[in-house]
Amino acid sequence: MRFIADRMLGKLAIWLRIFGYDTLYIGDFDVEDEDTFLLENFTDRVLLTRDKELYERCVRRGRKAIFVNSDSVLEQIAEMRRIGVRTEIRMDRCSVCNMPLRKPSEEEARRVMEKEGIEENLMERYELWYCERCEKLYWLGSHYRNMVKFLEGLKG
Domain ranges in the chain are 3-82, 96-139
- Listed as own residue / partner, the contacts of 138-142 with beta carbons closer than 8 Å and 24 or more positions apart are 138/91, 138/94, 138/101, 140/91
For 63-122, the pLDDT digits (tens) are 999 999 999 999 999 999 999 999 999 999 999 999 999 999 999 999 999 999 999 999
Whole-prediction pTM: 0.92
Residue 125 CA to residue 132 CA, distance in Å, equals 22
Q: Distance (Å, rounded) from C-alpha 132 to C-alpha 147?
A: 23
CATH of domain 3-82: 3.40.50
